[in-house]
Structure 1
């Protein structure tokens, strides 16, 4: 069902991004373009991973549930080809959808910006598309985790729950640690609490570091995190490790 309605769902996502940006711009008298771009990017970072995980359910989990994979796996080729082909196609589709949404958001932001000259105009050139590239990587990491869950989970619904839970934790734990280091009075035993959260950095990628929208919102490349190359490399490595683990799990999976 999701596959059959892919184009229509993508169109509705584009409408949601454009409407959110246009309405959000009405709440700022001095920086309408900045507010519109900020809200549009926030919507994109929420809806694209959810859409991707739902598609992942259809392409992998539902096929296991409906036994449709039996005909596919009868071909004389390794099992991991089935998995890698589908995740590669889905990753490319999500990148295309994200670029279409980004182009639409850039267009409406430029149109909003014509009505009022801001002191710090948004940067819709290279800084903006660098931001979109980081978001694509963020989505790919979430899809990689969803792929592993789709192979090992017994129910398709667990893929959505697990992937969204992973997304929330990976995007928030470093921000919470930074907040506790600045405002230690917020909770009792803040050092112990932040130390426990820091342990997550050994098992989870810091997806919050991939949100570099500030360079596009204010047009200043020096707002790019100093360790951006490390965050990009670790995200790619984490993504590759999850896909490799999912392929290994599929080769050893026993189907009833």
Structure 2
């Protein structure tokens, strides 16, 4: 059973680890990137600012969640704080799930703040130039942010599992970003090899090899549905989006179950 003290302790540790500084820095980087990107587009400044802003969000927030997972879980084991934490009459999974929820809540909360700031900045940029195809900042934008949130939730589960099984906190950073890069890119590579067979000499064998990753990893690249808000066309949403959502939620639950199983059998020296 999840214990609220573990969740509140996780939040306290996160702010002690300068989460507020990370959040404010992320907000500043996002604003600068979106504003400067808009200056390089004379015809569609709002759309370019939104596109670059979403890319910055998808790059910065995984770093934030990894740093928080390192602080809340990896260093718990590395510095032997668990000797005090696990002395309380709470099951081990309570510690793990409490810290996971804390990291997920902080990450998704920061996502909402950055999304609101980006929407405001894009709206202000759009006031200075009337585009032929304005960016859709209504339900299209909210759906795009929701899919990004699902992406981040899964990456938080990956980082949590790695924090339990890894021997060093640095492996959480390397492993999570490695999974992220592969899971976000292999779908695009398969599509490229399918429609552009001249890229490599034996495209079919390459496509079959890369296609094996679809049985091991979720397709996080398909969760990037920014096209529906950049061009205001909901028909650009993948037709199999319910399956994408279900598969990623199932994968997240499976990773958490595996992390709980690993923690239950972890022997502390």
Q: How many positions carry a matched residue from both structures?
A: 256
Cross-structure match for 1:118: 131
Is the CA contact 2:14–2:72 (under 8 Å) kept in the aligned structure 1? no
Is the CA contact 1:25–1:33 (under 8 Å) kept in the aligned structure 2? yes
Is the CA contact 1:146–1:163 (under 8 Å) kept in the aligned structure 2? yes
Instruction: Give the alignment partner of residue 227 of structure 1, picking from 226, 235, 240.
Output: 240
Is the CA contact 2:62–2:155 (under 8 Å) kept in the aligned structure 1? yes
Cross-structure match for 2:39: 26
Instruction: Give the alignment partner of residue 192 of structure 2, picking from 171, 179, 195.
Output: 179
Runs of at least 4 residues of structure 1 off by over 3 A? none
Q: Secondary structure at the match of 2:158?
A: helix
The separation in 2 between residues aligned to 1:9 and 1:53, in whole angstroms, is 12
Cross-structure match for 2:115: 102
RMSD of Structure 2 on Structure 1 (CA): 0.9
Cross-structure match for 2:84: 71
The separation in 1 between residues aligned to 2:100 and 2:226, in whole angstroms, is 27
The separation in 2 between residues aligned to 1:103 and 1:2, in whole angstroms, is 22
Is the CA contact 2:34–2:49 (under 8 Å) kept in the aligned structure 1? yes
CA shift at 1:2, angstroms?
6.3
Structure 1 unpaired stretches of 5+: none
CA shift at 1:19, angstroms?
0.7
CA shift at 1:8, angstroms?
1.6
Q: Secondary structure at the match of 1:232?
A: helix
Q: After superposition, what is the alpha-carbon deviation per residue over 1:22-55, rounded to whole angstroms, capped at 9, x for unaligned?
A: 0000111110000000000000000001110111
Cross-structure match for 2:262: 249
Cross-structure match for 1:50: 63
Instruction: Give the alignment partner of residue 50 of structure 2, picking from 18, 37, 43.
Output: 37
Cross-structure match for 1:214: 227
Q: After superposition, what is the alpha-carbon deviation per residue over 1:125-179, rounded to whole angstroms, capped at 9, x for unaligned?
A: 1110110010011011111111111001111110100000000000000100000
Q: TM-score, normalised by structure 1?
A: 0.98
Structure 2 unpaired stretches of 5+: 1-12
CA shift at 1:3, angstroms?
3.7
Is the CA contact 2:164–2:262 (under 8 Å) kept in the aligned structure 1? yes
Is the CA contact 2:137–2:229 (under 8 Å) kept in the aligned structure 1? yes
